[in-house]
Amino acid sequence: MSNLSSKQTRVLASALARSVNQQHQAIKRRLSGRANLLKPEPPTWWNGDPAFAGLVPREEQEVDMTILIPLWPDSAGQDETDTLQLQWKPSTSGTWQNAQAPILVPGPISGGFPMPVTLEKSYFAFEGAFDLRYTVLTEASNTAESDITQFIIDKTPPNNGQSPTSATFPDTLVISDGITQDYLDDHGGLDLAIPIYQEEKLGDSLDVYVHEVGTSPTTPAYSGAIDANRRVKLPIDAFSDLLDGLIYISYRLVDKVGNKGAHADNATVGLFLNPLPTEPLPAPRVPKIADDDTLQLVDIDRVNAGLVEIDPYPNALENDLVVLTWGTAALKVTHRITDPFATIFLNVPYETILKPAYGTATAVLPTPIGYVVERGDKSFASRLATINVDFFVPGPVNPDRPDPVNSALPRVTVKGSTSTVDNVLTADDVGDPVTVTLKLYDPIGTDEEMVLYWGGITNVVGRFNPVTGNPGEDYEFTLDWDAIKDLPSSTQVPVFYTVGRATPPGNVESCVPTPVDVSAALPIKLANPEFPEAAEASDGSPILNCSTHVGPERLVSVRIPGNTGLLQGGETLNFTWQCYTDKAGTAPVNAPLEFDRTITATEASNGFEFLQGPFDDYVLPTGRNGSIKLTYMSDTTPPMQGETLIRASGTLPGGECPPNSRRAFGAGGCGC
């Protein structure tokens, strides 16, 4: 079989025919006493190998070519000048063209030959076979022609520039078991078979690339010729820097000129140089079910980061792919190993995996969880872990599940006994029942309950169990004032209810909270005043007695704790000090005492202390066993308030408390 392409065959056949004709003409000229001049000489390529005569290397096709002109016989003598003209033409053309301006060669010629002449690259910018000659014109107007030199410009990559078919693996053991270290050691590398391709030519070679899936090859693992059996052996070290798993092997054909063809399609094979995982692998774990053995909505969110954990398994490797199956969910969770010795944390999305796996279940659903490790085209299975899953929630479908707030549940409306504006309680409502109304949700099932909350999930103020009535009907909670009077106050107290199963307890969802303004009815609570020097009464309660008064002026030490988030600094606090003659604070004596203090930002966040007196006004009126109530209120809108009632005594048997030896801090007095 010829190693020449059809294109080369046509070009060389034409050149051969012309060469025979030229030789025939040369013989006729010699017989007639005329002979052609010696042919011009192009550069020597391929070490003069005649199999590739005239074939221009790829890197020299883009530069000017230096042509050597031999000295012709009977050249110009003294006071004569010969004219040299280099000419070229495509071999398929019959018309010669001048390659550059004529060169004057004065005689007598004593040196400078062979003469270098430049053939510009523009004359062979396109591919094909080209003829080259020169003529010499004497002053006597005689012209002699040289023999012809041919060269070939080939710019077409092998296989006509198309991607060749992928290589194959002659050894079926590689196909079945992959490439192992033992196989490479036993065979000294890996054999590849190269399929037949178009326009095969003498001198063709190839570059072979070995790389991991998802990477792009840059440096060939092998460059060389294809043997007579169309085989190539890749060396062992071609695989030494690759991670175990699927790898790609591709190649590029390279012709003698240096034209590189397109990458062949990838041949895929498994690489297993390290020990394989051993089955069964450890079962996955779901730590969030540790408390109750059941995964519920409260345990999850939309992403569920780290919901499933997998301990390091035997012979784990970087680049292993872990594929988790959750119940009947069609989608899988995948994780590419980067640290073989670390615990694996898998995110299991609710919408695409957890929800489809739970389906239409309305009770606890046992759910199997398992995974496989994929390394190349091999897989290794784990033990299964079966966990209980409960995602059922009574009521309408929550469009934002697993968010516990269900916008499809009807919201509540709050009304006071006298208020005319919904969701606002005023001072006139204080002490009276509060009404909370709502529309019953749809659908209503059996054994369900509604729980009403005021201000937060820790403050249960109503319960409706079982839920009876028809969807859409009005339902009303009536709250005694005592149920809310001690709860935090705000302009936006959240009031809401949850819906869930009564027994056994399961998932619950709440309606969107309704903000209720109770600031006019219930002052917003500030931190209660403290009395750092207080002693302990016989019943264990704190008391201000003769031993706790500070200094000779018998003052009272007071501390106001920090109120971060409520006070900012710059507010004026109004203090009210009321003495009582009974310890329960029901028998006031004298008018309340009032004083103000403007606080700094530091005092607002960290709190502050002061001494209060004089004794005769602030303590003595409490008598033998009375009490003191200290209240303070901010000048903010709405106002905020804190207060403390503490037992107090201004006298002892025989008279009023004597002066105390303990030194007063500061300058004495209230410090306001």
Q: What pLDDT is stored for residue 662 in this prediction?
A: 59
Three-state DSSP state, 440:
coil
Q: In terms of pTM, does the model score above 0.95?
A: no
In CATH terms, is domain 6-155 a member of 3.40.50.300? no
> Which band of pLDDT confidence, cut at 50, 70 and 90, is reported for residue 361?
very high
Q: How do the domains of the chain map onto residue ranges? A: 6-155, 159-272, 287-390, 413-522, 525-656
Q: Which residues pair with 299 in a beta bridge?
A: none
Instruction: Give phi and psi for 414, each to the nearest 5.
Output: -110, 135
Find residue 322's DSSP bridge partners.
Answer: 335, 373
Q: Which CATH architecture has domain 525-656?
A: Sandwich (2.60)
pLDDT at 17: 43
Candidates 276, 211, 281; CA nearest to 243 is 211
pLDDT in tens, 516-549: 999 889 888 899 999 999 999 999 999 999 999 9
Residues 6+ apart with CB under 8 A from 268: 213, 246, 247, 248, 249
Least confident stretch, 83-92, 144-153, 610-619, 659-668 = 659-668
Range in 257-261, 310-314, 487-491, 557-561 with the lowest mean pLDDT? 487-491
Collapsing DSSP states into helix, strand and coil, what is residue 102?
Answer: coil
pLDDT of 32 above 90? no
Q: Which residues have C-beta within 8 Å of that of residue 135, sequence separation ≥ 6? A: 84, 85, 87, 143, 144, 145, 146
Q: Do domains 159-272 and 413-522 have the same CATH topology?
A: yes
Nearest Cα to Cα of residue 477 among 439, 443, 507: 439
Pick the closest to residue 560 from 523, 597, 512 (CA basis). 597
Nearest C-alpha neighbor of 367 from the set 312, 303, 306, 293: 293
What's domain 287-390's architecture?
Sandwich (2.60)
* E strand or H helix at 462: strand 460-464
The whole-angstrom separation of Cα 549 and Cα 17 is: 131
State the number of CA atoms in the 13 A half-sphere of 47 facing the CB: 1
Token pair recorded at residue 493: 């107290």
> Is the distance from CB of 242 to CB of 212 less than 8 angstroms?
yes
CA distances from 128 to 54, 132, 223, 260, 351 (A): 11, 13, 27, 18, 64
Q: What is the 3-state secondary structure (H, E, C) of 466-525?
A: CCCCCCCCEEEEEECHHHCCCCCCCCCEEEEEEEEECCCCCCEEECCCEEEECCCCCCEE
Nearest one of 323, 435, 428, 310 to 380, comparing CA atoms: 323
Nearest CA to 136 among 105, 98, 171?
Answer: 105
Residue 300's pLDDT is 94
The answer to whether the CB of 359 falls within 8 A of the CB of 391 is: no
Rounded-to-integer distance, Cα 108 and Cα 73, Å: 12
pLDDT at 671 over 60: no
> Over the chain, what is the mean pLDDT?
90
**What superfamily in CATH does domain 159-272 come from?**
Immunoglobulins (2.60.40.10)
Pairing of strands 245-254, 267-272: antiparallel
| SS3 call for 458 | coil
The torsion of the CA quartet 497, 498, 502, 508, rounded to 10 degrees, works out to -170
- What radius of gyration, in Å, describes the C-alpha atoms of the chain? 50
Model pLDDT, residue 526: 92
Higher-pLDDT residue of 281 and 226 is 281
Token pair, residue 387, equals 């966990």
The answer to which of 32-46, 136-150, 197-211 has the lowest mean pLDDT is 32-46
Fold classified for 413-522: Immunoglobulin-like (2.60.40)
Q: How confident is the model at residue 210 (pLDDT cuts 50, 70, 90)?
A: very high
